[in-house]
Amino acid sequence: MEKKNFAVLGLGRFGKNVALTLEEMGYNVLGVDKDELVATELAESLTKVVSFDIRDEHALKEVGISECDVVIIASKSLEASLMATILCNELNVGEIIVKAIDERHAKMAERLGASRIIFSERDTARRLARSLTARNVEELSEIDDNIRIIRVKVPGKFVGKNLINSKLRADYGLNAIAIQSSKEMIIPPSLEYVFKSEDRVYLIGTNESLLKFERELD
């Protein structure tokens, strides 16, 4: 399978961390920032780093932005972010992810072609609150505003039961998508698999269903 190409437009704290993480995961990452010092600092850490104003359509074309599978727009400037969203949409970028400053920014970006909106401070706050209130729960991914994936140590009341008897779907509306045992990762898990005390289970569900489950953890 061909490796995905990412671009991060705006290399402030958020954009820089996203770009470096993607690079560490082995992906091709193009970083863009109008500050030449920032670009120079990251030149040896990313696949390619260039310095220009992300509102510059010609410059975006020159760096091959249309060849990127995903573009993350992380500019702190509302005008620059929205203009880059328009240009990326016109240049047929597959997926455009915008870090929004506020709800007004989010709505405008969606209308202009953003595929997904991120509120970094809000999302970080949500993850922190969940980690403080749910024991043994690790937040893995937020699919959208209402769907999450978590990894959790198997609750004591489930040990010795299989997936059917544990009633994860019937009682909580959750689906187990994987089980990490002491020996292996089981994907997908069999309905007959019997939970052991050392297991970790990967669950997907709505915020409401996961909250109900988390409240009952022992």
Every domain of the chain and the residues it spans: 5-121, 128-215
Question: By CB neighbour count within 10 A (0-12 exposed, 13-18 middle, 19+ buried), where does 10 fall?
Answer: buried
Residue 218 has pLDDT above 70, yes or no: no
pLDDT tens sequence across 133-192? 555 566 656 666 678 888 888 888 899 999 889 988 888 899 998 898 888 899 888 899
Fold of 128-215: Alpha-Beta Plaits (3.30.70)
Distance set, CA 179 to CA 34, 78, 167, 208, 212 (Å):
45, 43, 16, 22, 20
Fold of 5-121: Rossmann fold (3.40.50)
Residue 132 has pLDDT above 70, yes or no: no
Element (H, E) at 177: strand 175-180
Higher pLDDT, 216 or 34: 34
Report the distance separating Cα 17 and Cα 138, nearest Å. Answer: 20
Asked if 5-121 and 128-215 have one fold, the answer is: no
Report the distance separating Cα 116 and Cα 96, nearest Å. Answer: 7
Q: Tokens 């909106």 appear where? A: 117
pTM, 2 dp? 0.63
